[in-house]
Structure 1
Amino acid sequence: MAEWHLIPSGRVWVDPGGPFGLVPRALWGRTQQANEHGLVPMDLTCMLIFSEGKTILVDTGLGDKLDEKGVRQWNLEYPQGRLLENLAAHGVRPQDVDIVLDTHLHGDHCSGNTTLIDGQLAATFPKAEYWVQRLEFADAMHTNERTRATYLPENYVPLWEQGKLRLLHGDTQVTKEVRCVVTPGHTRAMQCILYEGDPRPLLYVADLTSYAVHMERRAWVTAYDVEPLETIRTKGYWQDWALETQATLVFEHDTTMPVGTLTRTSEGKLKVLAAASAPTED
């Protein structure tokens, strides 16, 4: 038996130029409402999976290391609670997590990997092995002008030094039901998480899309993507797959539709329909 749960870890408010890139306000404004400061919300939704006796956490959000300035810069709030308290609601303590699957090493996805204990950086999940693509780790360790602000060593270097980081070489099976699949574009080696359960598979989309609407529109890519044309190619593959399999899609950043299914309308347009976000068992 396996089951999955969405685990909220916070919400940030960002300039819409980030998630929408070149898409004009006249188009994205039909799908997202900016606040009085012109910012749009993005959730930081992690996922908890129980599979083959393993407790698996997908992504860790912004964590608890931010100072007041960092909280203000991110406009960070917790409308649905924090990561550790939401894990506790499912009976999971930090020491119970066996595997952390980092989709990539941007700060809003992996800052919760580590925490401060008596002023020293330590693994938030002390018994866990943290899995990330080898190329993603290499890019995080050797940044350039474009990527320097998005990769923060305190979120992964201590894990490497402590031997807690497992570097993957491409698509990797985690358990019989769970697999890491490389989805390049947002970064060169971001990975989405595929849960191959019954009656339909589930894909944790990570930053292949910022919102569900990005899955409907292949050409909508974010300003954050380091290889936007690769994002379009990758997204096209997974759009076709989602239509064929009727897969459940988890949108990590979408505040109104965290879970959906991609369909094609009678007019031939792609449309994401809301799906149940309750846990599943098989």
Structure 2
Amino acid sequence: MKTLSIGRAKLTWLNGGVTHMDGGAMFGVVPKPLWSKKYPHNDRNQIELRCDSILVQIDGKNFLIDSGIGKGKLNDKSKRNFGVFEESKVDESLETLGLSADDIDAMLMTHLHFDHANGLTKPEGDDLVSAFPNATIFTSQVEWDEMREPNIRSKNTYWKENWEPVQHQVKTFDESIEIVPGLTMHHTSGHSDGHSVIKFVDGDESFIHMADLMPTHAHQNPLWVLAYDDYPVTSVQEKKALQDEAYAKNSWFVFYHDAYYRAVQFNDDKEIEKSIERERYEY
């Protein structure tokens, strides 16, 4: 597992499983000859998108950024449709680190689409139960409201099995919230109405997790937003402002979905200067 230390924070990428989604949808109106130079695709025009939860350890606390694709919850049709060639192994990753799901203090949920929230619950007999029973689950109030009452478009990605068993653990916020000193969540809208990003600042060191406003390094161009975005113009505006702030601080950009980079740091020309690459293997 790859790790990165940034100030007081230690980041470790866990194995949260994988999806393969349509490349055109993931890059919106960007022509394929452009995006395909930045990010490889398979013969079905799908791109590999990890769902790797990020363990963030600060001041003796254990936080997870998003929950992975889950395990034992998708049927064969769903696995085929979403290109899930590997389910979550978050428990196994934590065990390697001498931890368990019981040791997670909080889940920092950027949003609650199934590919981020499916790992919040797990099968236990005929029921679904919390996968992280001792964790507070942070998400924006807007996202939590839509999760429970999705509209005609969003009902395909907000699943009741991902919220009903854990509703007693959820703590919401409006605009922003500080989890511990320096670690904050900020509601942005854009990708979903309740979408949030995560920032950490400790002196001169910092990182930003832009979640699905910038799901991979190949989405660096502010105009390259997803066809899945509910509010694409908001995505562009928020993405540009967050990037400018992060560039000015020389922040690390850390990723949940990127199949090639765990984290990157850009130079003054906005080119990758430092990176943590993901280990590659065949499924």
Q: Verify same fold: TM over 0.5.
A: yes
- Report if aligned partners of 2:208, 2:252 keep a CA contact under 8 Å in 1: yes
Pick from 137, 143, 146 the counterpart of residue 130 of structure 1: 137
TM-score (norm 1): 0.90
Deviation per CA, 1:172-213, whole angstroms, max 9, x where unpaired?
000013111222210112111112235420112211112212
The alignment partner of 1:223 has SS state of coil
Aligned-residue offset at 1:156 = 1.1
- Is residue 215 of structure 2 the alignment partner of residue 183 of structure 1? no
Structure 2 length-normalised TM: 0.90
User: Relative to structure 2, which stretch is displaced further, 51-60 or 104-113?
Assistant: 51-60
Q: Report the CA distance between 1:241 and its aligned residue.
A: 0.8
Give the aligned partner of residue 166 of structure 2. 159
Contact 1:115 1:122 in 2 (8 A): yes
Please say if 1:21 is aligned against 2:28. yes
Q: Deviations over 1:257-276 (max 9, x none)?
A: 221123342xxxx3344423
Of 219, 225, 233, 1:221 maps to 225
Partner of 2:281: none
8 Å Cα contact 1:212-1:272 kept in structure 2:
no
- Correspondent of 1:170 among 165, 170, 175: 175
Q: Compared with structure 1, are the counterparts of its residues 151 and 233 closer, same or farther at alpha carbon in structure 2 (3 Å cutoff)?
A: same
Contact 2:143 2:193 in 1 (8 A): yes
Could you tell me which residue of structure 2 aligns to residue 275 of structure 1? 275
Which one of the candidate residues 31, 37, 40 is aligned to 2:44? 37
State how far apart, in whole Å, the 1-side matches of 2:188 and 2:15 are: 23
Tell me the secondary structure at the aligned position of residue 154 of structure 2: coil
SS at match of 1:275: strand
Report the equivalent of 1:91: 98
Equivalent-residue separation in structure 1 for 2:26 and 2:273 (angstroms):
20
Instruction: Tell me the equivalent position of 1:239.
Output: 243
Q: What is the number of residues matched between the two proteins?
A: 270
Equivalences for residues 93-132 of structure 1 within 5 A: 93-132=100-139
Report the AA paired with residue 21 of structure 1: G
Higher relative contact order (CA 8 A, sep 6+): 1
- Give identity over the alignment, percent: 26
Corresponding residue for residue 262 of structure 1: 266
- Asked if the contact 2:178–2:185 (Cα under 8 Å) also holds between the matched residues in 1, the reply is yes
Q: Structure 2 unaligned segments of length 5 or more: list them.
A: 1-7, 279-283
- Contact 1:13 1:41 survives alignment (8 Å): yes
The root-mean-square deviation of aligned C-alpha atoms, in Å, is 1.8
3-state DSSP class of the match of 2:184? strand
